Amino acid sequence: EVQLVESGGGLAQAGGSLRLACAASGFTSDDYSIGWIRQVPGQEREGLACIHKRDSDTYYRDSVRDRFTISSDNAKNTVTLQMDSLKPEDTAVYYCALYFGHCVGLLATKAHVDYWGQGTQVTVAS
């Protein structure tokens, strides 16, 4: 059974940092991508960052490129999103997402996602 277990998130002050982690299990393919997608109620989901396991390629949404860093700990099969210089507009529920394909699909406007994490709230206070 494929599982994505998220940790991290919470409350930060504007300009501060938070780290999210996504532990993936239950599959053996290395042709997959894990990314982070956030959702604000009433707004479209936003794909933020993605890493492809086999290629180690990383992709970012322009609005977070200089502030967020995605990385992978292959030994632990965990993907981390380090979020720095947080802004109040970063407040959202953040989801870890798995796609058995490339990041381009996962970060598309109509994201290709095979499995979702449970979501974690990130709140940035001004």
Structure confidence at residue 77 (pLDDT): 87
What separation in angstroms does the CA of 31 have from each of 4, 12, 99? 16, 34, 9
Structure confidence at residue 30 (pLDDT): 85
In sequence order, the β-bridge partners of residue 72 are: 79
Q: Name every residue whose Cβ is closer than 8 Å to that of residue 112 and which is 6 or more positions away in sequence.
A: 99, 101, 105, 106
Q: Stretch 100-121: mean pLDDT, rounded?
A: 91
Of 38-42, 105-109, 112-116, least confident by mean pLDDT is: 105-109
**Cα Rg for the chain, rounded, in angstroms?**
13
- Measure the CA–CA gap between 62 and 68, rounded to whole angstroms: 10
Structure confidence at residue 94 (pLDDT): 98
Q: pLDDT per residue over 42-67, tens digit each?
A: 999 999 999 998 888 999 999 999 99
Q: pLDDT per residue over 72-90, tens digit each?
A: 987 778 999 999 999 999 9
